[in-house]
Structure 1
C-alpha cells in the first residue's frame, strides 16, 4: 500500500516490514470478499489528506489495477 500527498509519494506500508515467503491459495466465489485490516494509528504519517494505492504483488493478479482512494488522518 502506497501513500501520496500532493501527488508526491510519501510512504510505502511494506518499507519497514520483513516478510517470509508463504504460498497459499484462497478462492473467492463471485460476490465474496476478503478484508485485510491495517492499523492506521501505526502509520508514520502526519495529519492531512493522502491518496493511497492498494495492490497485490501476486503474479496472478498483476493484470489488475490498484485500488485507489483518499484517507484523512486527523
Structure 2
C-alpha cells in the first residue's frame, strides 16, 4: 500500500515538473525553447533525417527549428 502511494506522489511530481518546463507554452509539445541566438523552438530530426512538419533544419544549431508560438 505504501509503494502505491509513493508511486502516485512520483507521478504527480513528474507531471508538475513537466508542465513547468520553461518553453512549453511557446513551443509545440515535441520541441523545446533554445535561446542560443534568437529564441526558437528546436527538436531533433527523425530516424530518416527529416524534420517534423513545419520545422526547418538549421545547420548552425544542427536541429530542426520553428519560430515560437506567440499566443
Q: TM-score range by the shorter chain?
A: under 0.3
Counting strand residues as a fraction of each chain, which structure ranks higher? 1
For CA contacts below 8 A with separation 6 or more, give which structure has more relative contact order: 1
Structure with greater Cα Rg: 2
